[in-house]
Every structure is written in structure tokens, then in C-alpha cells.
Structure 1
């Protein structure tokens, strides 16, 4: 073994030694803190004694326990505290004194009513990074309004861009309002950590789920603001690239993504339809977008001759981006997914052993974690946390 490989093996995860006091629940906040745990932080869930995190009651269930909760909260610790009671507040404040991050996703005003306003905590814990994630943020006319993922998908324009033209509104298949804001939350928390390392102390972070949806509207928002044109739902199509959608084959559907003129020509070569390359209607991406309906008919005419598996193999050999449309069972057994350790085994205190999604963040010198701590039962780690706080 050479010297550099020895060095690589001794590297720890980047957030090791940092502590997160985690008041978040359900999805957006727990998804953010799961990513912090993946990066090495010690995440301590502070839950209400009266049932804990709401997602503990969310299906699907196994042995009367929530798989939803388990998938978002493994590699964390739990202590139950009632922050309206003085004894529990004292414990919580001991935790704050040892924490690098305090994160919460209550409705604005809740933390202030509990006595934990940023202005107060900044004075007492000047190095603490205080992160708030809510539906609409701490300011603005809707700041105090409740929100869920579906609400911000609707208000943020994402639902208007999802589904097929003329059909009823469609929710994105995953909770993109929660998940996107959770990722922005992680980015902001780590930026605040860098700022602290630069000598500026702790920061207050304010992330709004609605803001994150607006930030993800891609060119649709810019297009409207510049031209007045409103982008509408297009099914699987992209509003500015063609061919770039799902196409019917002999036995199912597949994705074909000819993102530029070169790839379009290569796709036509695979299809043995070089006439499409010469067709005046398809000679540029702009023209293909203008004539996308006709292009779809021509491509599907040819795709009908073979199965999705046959076509994907041919496109892969030519280097043209394509894919079958997989369900979750196919994803879980896909060789690329497993080669990247994206399915992990969790030793769960309730289920014994479960499998779930892994850490997509790969870094030089930091191998994927092999062993994972199962999502904690409510107040599971109280004794060890209290002992740690007293050291």
C-alpha cells in the first residue's frame, strides 16, 4: 500500500465532531438532517413526548411502525423533551451549549413563544448556527400561514408544469417541495459553517419552501418575465429541447434525449432514419421544438419495430442518452445503483434489518459507510444523551 492510499483511508467524514440539535419533523427538515448525518454530524432529534415526530404515524407500516419515518431518520439519536416545561428546557439549553446547529421547521413565531428567538440565542450562544425552514419564510404576508409540500408545488408553479396538457393537475411523484427545500437548507447550513470558520460567528438561516420552488422554475420563469409567454404542462417533453421525452416502443415506453444536433443525428443513425436529419423541419433544435408533434410521430413509427430493451441497447452502443422507465423494484436491483452503494442495510431497533436509500454524496478519501444506526424509537437515547451533556 502506498503512502497516499494510507492517507485516504484515515480521512473522516467532513462534519464529524459537529452536533445538530434537530427540532424538525415530517420530511423537509428530517431529509436535511439525514444528509448532515450522512456527512458525519451527530444529529439529536428533540421530539415532543406526546408521539414524537408526526411521521412516526405515516404509512407504509411494518409491524405497526412507520417505514417512512425510518427511511428519513436513520443514523440519528432521539430525546423527548417538552419545551414548555422548565426541567426539559434546562436539558435543551445544555444541548444548545454543545451544539453547532439548531434546526427547526415550526411555523414562524413558535420558537419565539417557546423563548428561543434568534436574538436571545445569539447572545447566549454566539457560535450557534440557527436554521429555520418553513412554508413561506420568516417574512412576507404569508409568513404565518401553514404549508405542506403540495401547497408549495401548487403556489410555486411546479404543478402547472407537471402532467399532460388538458388533464387535471398532477403532483410531482416525489415530495419535491419538501426535498428541494431540505437540500437548500443543507447548502445554507454548510455555508453558515464556512462563515463561522471565517470568524463571523453564528448565523440565522431562513429557508422558505415556496422560495425553493420558485428558484427551480428553470427557464419557464425567465421566459415569462422576458416575453410574457406562459409555459404549460407538456407531459414528458422539455419545453426547449427535442427530441427529449418518452416514446412508445413495441412493448412499452422509453426515454430518448437527443439534447443537441450531434446526438439527434446519432439517434437517427440508430433508428436508420437519416431522412429525419435532412428534413428541413428538424435541422436545428429550435425547428425540432416547433415541429415536435410531427417528430414524435416519425420516431414512434420506427420505435414500434423493437422492444424498449432492444432499442436502449442500440442507443447505448452509440452513446445516445436513453433509458427504460423503471419502477421502484427495477431501481432497487439496478447494477449501477448497487455499484454506487445507493441501497444500504440498516440495523433497525424495531424491524431488525431494513434496506433503504443510501448517501449520494461521494467524496475522495471517504468510503461509504457500511454500518448504519436504525432510526431511533421515541426517547431511545435519553440516558446516553443526558450522560454526554453532563460531561
Structure 2
């Protein structure tokens, strides 16, 4: 990937990225895709996800490749004074510092934001991504996605009704934490345009995991009932579930009475929309099992993909249940630029589309320490590990 003339919405912003694994790197890749200069500072052993495979390509794990494009890699050892001094040198010309060390680590190195960095660099925005935050009953404890899914209640509402709690198949807590970290950084930068001052952004996996429990939290706060597992079904809406067809599962996401009437008309069973059991959403929720039997009696007469397209084009939200491979091959995925293939690199495209300053893919994910020599660092910090 070569440099492009398009600067991006964040062109001119320099981010020092001390994060590893997923939440932090996902955040900084978003910023990098939109033009920010990302300096990925790695310890001598590198980001551990470099070894998280197979699969591998040219020595890079797919996991690392997925969230580390548009970055430079510099190796620094913060256990050494030279490494800490080199970091301070880089921060002198930077706007943002992102880190996901265990709370208190920067302070032990003499690099605490409140005590040192904010005094030395008053415009610096600092973002700390942690498991549980720095204080409170769980403050300072380490957190990983799946463990936090368990601790914050997400697993308890995921899975089939007659099964046990189940981890969500993607690292949703890490990903939403990365999104919130990017949003928090942008909020702080926007405020800086008024005050001229930086600030610290505190984003924890625990908080972010809790934040996505909708509608389970408001349901519980209102009703007092403990939310359970509903499989593919929605606790508040019906028909909102996976249904059998002749060929493959179809997910119906019918959100109102008008959509339900269209569905029944297209399936040639309009009387269901007038049935007192199904005439309103609350009735459909209470009688969801009976409704599912009625709908599947009709749906199993149709090809899934063909029916899904006909329904959605007629205003009934739905989707054929596809594999990842089928999704990648779908022409709309390519049309939306959600698969990037450039200079031997393949990855997920940027989902945020800006009309004048779109995301760009300028740099391949870096080799460990690849860019040390591009910066004026002390000689003893130039090792690539």
C-alpha cells in the first residue's frame, strides 16, 4: 500500500499507540484508516497477537493483520530509562496516547498522566483501555473479552433457552470497547478545540459490556424479571427469529404491524395478520411458538435466498443466514468496499463512509520494529527485538 494524496478526516493527528491484542488496536486502526498517523509502540517481544494463529501469511497472523494496518511499529523497552525517554520524545509532537496497561503501570514507570504527562504535555489526550477501570471493587484487575462477557451478564442471555450460558461468537466486548475508545478520543479532541487542554479518557471492558445489554437491562429494571436466553428470538418482538425454509434458515426481523401484514400477504396467509393472537406485537410475543409453526408451514415451501430478496424488496426486513464465506462472496459486500485487497493484503474494510475524506488504506500491517530508524530515538532503543 502506498501513500495517497487524500489526507483523511484525521490527517495531521499523531497517535502514540501502546496497546496490544484487540480493543486498543481496533480503536487505533479506525483512527489510522481516517488519516491519523499511528505509532504502534511494542515491547521487545511484540504484540502477542503476532503469534495468535494459524492462519499465518508471510510470518503475520491473520489476527494481527486484521487490526494493525495504517500503523508504524517501533520497539521500545519501558523497563529501561532510554525507552521511557524515547516515549516522552515522541509524545512531544503527538496529540493522543492510547494504552491498555494494567492500571497503575504508567505511574510505576514515572509516566502517570495526571502527575507527569498532563503537566508536561497539557494538550495531550490520554485514553486508557482497561478491564474494570482503576478503582472500585474490581479496579485494577485484568480483563479479557470472554471473561468479561461472563462477568457482565452477556453470556447469561446468549444461547438456546434449554442450554447453558454461551459466549458470543465474536469478541464483542473488545470490539465495542475499541469503538467507544475511538469515540471518547474524538470527544476529547473536540473539547480541546474550545479549551486548548487535553484530558484522560477512561474506557473499560466491563462498562462497555454492560452498555450493550439492551433491551435486557431496561426490561429487568422495569419488570423485575431476570432476562433469560431466547436463542435467535428477540425478547420484545415477534416474528424476530430464525425460521426454516426449503433450503436454509431465514431470519425475519419484523418490527411492526405493517411489516407483519406485508409478510403474511407475500406468504399468501393474510388471515394471520387478523388473527387476534397475532394482530399486535404483544400478542405475537405471547404466542410466538404458535406463530412460528404457522409461518414455517409456508416458509418451507420457498428457497431461502430467493424468498429473502423478494421479502426485503417489498419492505419486510429479513436476511438469509449466510456463512462468512458466503457473505464475502456477496456482491453487495464488494460494492460497499467491505473487503480490502491491495498489494497482497486482504482485510475488512472501514464501515464509516465520509463523502469528502473517505478512509484510505495506506500502510500494510508493520513488521515488529520496522520503523524504529525513521525516528530520532536513542541508539539503545533501535533494536527490533
TM-score > 0.5 by shorter chain:
yes
Q: How far did residue 375 of structure 1 move?
A: 0.6
Query: What is the alpha-carbon distance in structure 2 between the residues aligned to residue 11 and residue 90 of structure 1?
Result: 33
1:291-310 to structure 2, matched below 5 A, reads: 291-310=287-306
Query: What is the alpha-carbon distance in structure 1 between the residues aligned to residue 312 and residue 221 of structure 2?
Result: 39
2:370 corresponding residue in structure 1:
380
When structure 1 is superposed on structure 2, of 108-117 and 21-30 the one drifting more is 108-117
Q: Is the 8 A contact 2:157 2:165 kept in 1?
A: no
Query: What is the alpha-carbon distance in structure 1 between the residues aligned to residue 68 and residue 40 of structure 2?
Result: 9
Q: Is the 8 A contact 2:33 2:359 kept in 1?
A: no
Query: What is the alpha-carbon distance in structure 1 between the residues aligned to residue 294 and residue 365 of structure 2?
Result: 51
1:86 and 2:81 correspond: yes
1:53 and 2:58 correspond: no
1:248 and 2:244 correspond: yes
Q: How far did residue 224 of structure 1 move?
A: 1.2
Residue 356 (structure 2) aligned to one of 360, 365, 369: 365
The alignment covers a number of residue pairs equal to: 372
Residue 70 (structure 1) aligned to one of 54, 59, 65: 65
Unaligned residue ranges in structure 2 (runs of 5+): 378-385
CA shift digits 1:21-48 (9 cap, x unpaired): 1000000000000001011110001100
- TM-score w.r.t. length of structure 2: 0.93
When structure 1 is superposed on structure 2, of 273-282 and 220-229 the one drifting more is 220-229
1:4 corresponding residue in structure 2:
none
1:172 corresponding residue in structure 2:
168
Cα distance change, pair 176–98 in 1 and its aligned pair in 2 (3 A): same
1:100 and 2:105 correspond: no
- TM-score w.r.t. length of structure 1: 0.92
CA shift digits 1:41-98 (9 cap, x unpaired): 100011001x210111101223443111011101100000001212222211110111
1:1-391 to structure 2, matched below 5 A, reads: 12-49=7-44, 51-59=45-53, 60-119=55-114, 120-347=116-343, 353-369=344-360, 371-386=361-376
Unaligned residue ranges in structure 1 (runs of 5+): 1-8, 348-352
Q: Could you say what the CA RMSD is over the residues aligned between the two structures, in angstroms?
A: 1.5
More helix by share: 1
Query: What is the alpha-carbon distance in structure 2 between the residues aligned to residue 98 and residue 368 of structure 1?
Result: 23
CA shift digits 1:102-135 (9 cap, x unpaired): 1101111111111111121111010000110001
Higher relative contact order (CA 8 A, sep 6+): 2
